[in-house]
Amino acid sequence: MAQHEDGGDVGSAVEKSEPFVPATGTAVLSSDAIQNPGLPPHHERVTDQDPKKEKTAERRVITLFYLSIVGSVFAVAAYIAFPITPGDTGSVRLNTMLLGIGIALGLLSLGLGAIYWSKNLMRGDELTESRHLTRGSEPTRARAAEIMHEGNVESGFSRRTVLRNTLIGALVATPLPAVAIFRDLAPAADPVKLLEHTMWKKGTRLTKDPTGLPIKASDVTLGSVFHVIPEGLNDTEDRLEEKAKAAVLLMRLKPEDLKELPERKTWSYDGIVAYSKICTHVGCPVALYEQQTHHLLCPCHSSTFDVTNHCEVIFGPAKRPLPQLPIAVDSEGYLIAQSDFTEPVGPSFWERS
């Protein structure tokens, strides 16, 4: 950029300094280094030497530009001629492909033509431009320093310290409202309370996901797995938020395969156990059940839980076992919850203890 040394007695405030010599650090500067041989001679291209070749190149560029026009026009034609028939994915594919080919032809021929032009017909030799140090010239720097100094003196910025400090204080304080107004990004409720409870409560029937049909204990055969939601979930206002906490996996194992803690003996029913489906790592659904080993695997980060042993983590980054939902059977033989989960489900959070 052009340097404007406008106004002022250039460089008057600072005495003339030595030419700027930057530190070289630990660089090795050898006086015995091989000398730069200078630019090699320029080789002319065929288009520089042979007017016929030049003409051919020009015709090629023109052809490419014509082709580009053809491509763009073709794209418009394809847009009209190949509409989408509702329900017919083939028509979507055809429309996408032909419109795309037209646009691509328009763009590519234009681009290739311009590049071919520049490489074969425009001036072919390289030019040299000299570099200067990025820092401003000494007079410019001196003048800049002088301007800043004058600004300081004329405003009294560093002399009137209290004024300056209150200015800084005011500038720091002005963005505070901008931080505060973000509180209402979420409702007033305390998130911790919300995280501690789910839709499950005493007597809620276990129903199939996504149909919401209740499940009889007798339907749960050995080795089967059910994706479960609480009864009535599909009718709730905040369906997905509730589902994100209340989703459950139901499995039936041989009772002798289950290693149950004495206090949780009553949480299962005849080898049927229900566990939260939400991974305790970062909350993905733990959807993969290995029937043979009774392991639950989270597909996101490979945390593996052992269903026979209260869903303890046996591999992967999760720490806590999946919370167990205590279940029972009602008078009609349908599976019901004995209560809500006894601990928060899903990913760990700071306030959880």
Partner 1 sequence: MTTTTDAPVVKTRGQRFTGAAANYIDERTSISGLVKELGRKIFPDHWSFMLGEVALYSFIAILLSGTFLTFFFQPSMAEVHYDGSYVPLKGLQMSAAYSSALDISFDIRGGLLFRQIHHWAALLFISSIGLHMLRIYFTGAFRKPRELNWVIGFVLFVLALAEGFTGYSLPDDLLSGNGLRIIDGMLKGIPVVGTWISYLLFGGEFPGTDIVARLFTLHILLLPAILVAALGVHLLLMVVNKHTQFAGPGRTNENVVGVPVLPVFAAKAGGFFFVVFGVIVLIASFFTINPIWNYGPYDPSPVSAGTQPDWYIGFADGALRLVPPGWEFVLWDRTWSFNIIAVVLVLVVFLGLVAFYPFIEGWITGDKREHHIADRPRNAPTRTAIGAAGVTFYAVLWAAASSDLIATHFKVSLEGVIHVLQALFFLGPIIAFFVAKRVCIGLQKKDREIALHGYESGRIVRLPGGEYIEVHEQLDDYERWRLVSYNDYQPLMLRPNARGRITFGQRLRAGFSRWFFEDRIAPVSRNELERGGHH
Considering the complex, state which of residue 150 and residue 351 has its C-beta at the smaller distance from partner 1: 351
Candidate segments 212-220, 258-266, 279-287, 327-335, binder of partner 1 by CB under 8 A: 279-287
The binding track of 4-43 with respect to partner 1, each residue x by CB under 8 A or -, is ------------------xxxxxxx-x-xxxxxxxxx---
Quote the least distance from Cβ 279 to partner 1, whole Å: 8
The binding track of 134-173 with respect to partner 1, each residue x by CB under 8 A or -, is x---------------------------------------
Q: Is 314 in a helix, a strand, or coil?
A: strand
Considering the complex, state which of residue 220 and residue 278 has its C-beta at the smaller distance from partner 1: 278
Considering the complex, state which of residue 19 and residue 86 has its C-beta at the smaller distance from partner 1: 86
- The residues in 72-131 that bind partner 1, with binding defined as CB under 8 A, are 79, 83-84, 86-89, 92, 95-97, 99-101, 103-108, 110-119, 122-123, 126-131
Q: Indicate the helix (H) or strand (E) that contains 147.
A: helix 138-155
Q: Helices 51-81 and 89-120 meet at what angle, rounded to 10?
A: 160
User: How many residues touch partner 1 (CB under 8 A)?
Assistant: 110
- Joined together, the tokens standing for residue 135 give 């820092």
Q: Are 217 and 272 in contact (CB under 8 A)?
A: yes
Quote the least distance from Cβ 196 to partner 1, whole Å: 11
Considering the complex, state which of residue 9 and residue 126 has its C-beta at the smaller distance from partner 1: 126
User: Would you count residue 320 as binding partner 1 (CB under 8 A)?
Assistant: yes
Q: Which residues does 153 contact at the CB level (< 8 Å), separation at least 6?
A: none
Considering the complex, state which of residue 28 and residue 170 has its C-beta at the smaller distance from partner 1: 28
Residue 122: CA atoms inside 13 Å, Cβ hemisphere, count?
9
Quote the least distance from Cβ 147 to partner 1, whole Å: 20
User: Would you count residue 300 as binding partner 1 (CB under 8 A)?
Assistant: yes
- Joined together, the tokens standing for residue 188 give 């007033």
- The residues in 237-276 that bind partner 1, with binding defined as CB under 8 A, are 238, 240-241, 243-245, 247
Considering the complex, state which of residue 125 and residue 330 has its C-beta at the smaller distance from partner 1: 125
Q: Which residues does 308 contact at the CB level (< 8 Å), separation at least 6?
A: 253, 257, 258, 259, 294
- Please give the C-alpha separations between residue 64 and each of 52, 106, 113, 254, in angstroms, as whole numbers: 19, 9, 5, 74
Residue 32: CA atoms inside 13 Å, Cβ hemisphere, count?
0
Considering the complex, state which of residue 291 and residue 302 has its C-beta at the smaller distance from partner 1: 302
Q: How far apart are CA 311 and CA 297, in angstroms?
A: 11
Q: Is 335 in a helix, a strand, or coil?
A: strand
Considering the complex, state which of residue 75 and residue 220 has its C-beta at the smaller distance from partner 1: 75
User: Would you count residue 65 as binding partner 1 (CB under 8 A)?
Assistant: no
- Please give the C-alpha separations between residue 34 and each of 30, 37, 39, 130, 131, in angstroms, as whole numbers: 9, 9, 15, 21, 22
Quote the least distance from Cβ 215 to partner 1, whole Å: 15
